[in-house]
Amino acid sequence: MSNISVPYTGLGRRMRRLLWSTRRRLNPDERVTLPFDNGLKLQVRRKDRLARRVYLEGYSDRELAYLVDLVLKPGMIFFDVGAHFGQFTLMASPRVGARGQVHGFEPTTETFGQLKANIELNALENVTINHNAVYHEKTTLELKVCDSGRGEFNTLGQPARRGGGVDHIEKIEAIRLDDYVAEHQIGRVDLMKIDVEGAEDFVLRGGADLLSREDAPILSIEFSERNVEAMGYGVDVIRTRMQGFGYTLFSFTPESGILSPFPDDAQHADGDNVIGVKSRDNWPGTFA
């Protein structure tokens, strides 16, 4: 049975939407602590776009929530690359338990502060968070940071948000997955979420050793043609690289846990979560 909470519907949902919108207009910087995922707490700001979705849906991305709930078990290791304010990092912590580990990576200074506050709010001792971008080389990068409250659009390329909305540029330190795994003596990663607004292929390139292994993690990675074009390549590059590592690509049906083959000619204008699996034995659900 799934541990994913049910979203609000009907009149309750409409009333909550009205309440949120009204409070946001009155005080967009108000910090709110939401009840979240089986006793956890999530501190957000009224102006955060993803916060409203969590308030109404329980999660900003229910597909990812189902994935984390299905795959992670006690003792496992989860990497959250592009952790934002931490909802999936938080979710993973009790699921992997004291013997497991959660590693979150978030480059934006403001958003990393929110992530850190949420880890401390829930007193999570099995979580390590990193104020870094993940890239194909260790270097310093320029991150385009959007208006406060729209941090999910921050990118090394061009923000997908209509009309731009870049507020400032931050110098950020980038690290490689393979270096990080070696430095932290991590034997195996079981699940990795990668959502980095167009830099997904650079993350993969920096993790070639980890991702080429037979026990490589299950991957959830965003395919967004708009985002990657701003970085100078297409989603076919991500697809080819993953297949070169030995991954088979799938789409995920959340409620059933079924993986279906992901078509090579699928379009990804607005972004899709694609699941990469090395071995069918590693998938706890079923296959179409």
Domains of the chain are 10-287 (3.40.50.150)
- Choose the weakest-confidence range: 6-10, 41-45, 57-61, 136-140: 6-10
pLDDT band at 233; cut points 50, 70, 90: very high
Task: Output the pLDDT for position 162.
Answer: 55
pLDDT band at 34; cut points 50, 70, 90: very high
Q: Is residue 236 within 8 Å of residue 266, measured between CB atoms?
A: no
Q: Is the pTM above the cut of 0.85?
A: yes
The token pair that represents 244 in the structure block = 């070169």
* Count of beta carbons in the 10 Å neighbourhood of residue 10: 7
Task: Output the pLDDT for position 1.
Answer: 53
pLDDT digits (tens, 9 = 90+) for 84-107: 999 999 999 999 999 999 999 999
Q: Is residue 198 within 8 Å of residue 230, measured between CB atoms?
A: yes
The token pair that represents 286 in the structure block = 């079923």
Burial status of residue 196 (CB atoms within 10 A of its CB: 0-12, 13-18, 19 or more) = buried
Percent of the chain, pLDDT > 70? 97
Is 161's pLDDT higher than 90? no
Taking the C-alpha atoms of residue 97 and residue 235, their distance in angstroms, rounded to an integer, is 35
- Average pLDDT in the chain: 92
The token pair that represents 81 in the structure block = 């690359």
Task: Output the pLDDT for position 149.
Answer: 75
Is 190's pLDDT higher than 80? yes
Q: Who contacts 185 (Cβ-Cβ below 8 Å, separation ≥6)?
A: none
- What phi and psi, each to the nearest 5 degrees, are found at residue 279? -130, 135
Q: Which residues of 51-60 are buried (b: 16+ CB within 10 A; e: fewer)?
A: bbbbbbbbbb
- Of 57, 58, 59, 117, the C-alpha closest to 85 is 117
Taking the C-alpha atoms of residue 107 and residue 171, their distance in angstroms, rounded to an integer, is 9
pLDDT digits (tens, 9 = 90+) for 46-68: 999 899 999 999 999 999 999 99
The token pair that represents 71 in the structure block = 């795959």
Enter the DSSP assignment of 19: H
Is 224's pLDDT higher than 90? no
- Max mean pLDDT range (12-21, 73-82, 249-258): 73-82
pLDDT band at 219; cut points 50, 70, 90: very high
The token pair that represents 56 in the structure block = 């109404």
- Of 44, 40, 36, the C-alpha closest to 20 is 44
Task: Output the pLDDT for position 167.
Answer: 79
pLDDT band at 269; cut points 50, 70, 90: low
Q: Who contacts 199 (Cβ-Cβ below 8 Å, separation ≥6)?
A: 133, 134, 135, 155, 156, 157, 231
Is 20's pLDDT higher than 70? yes
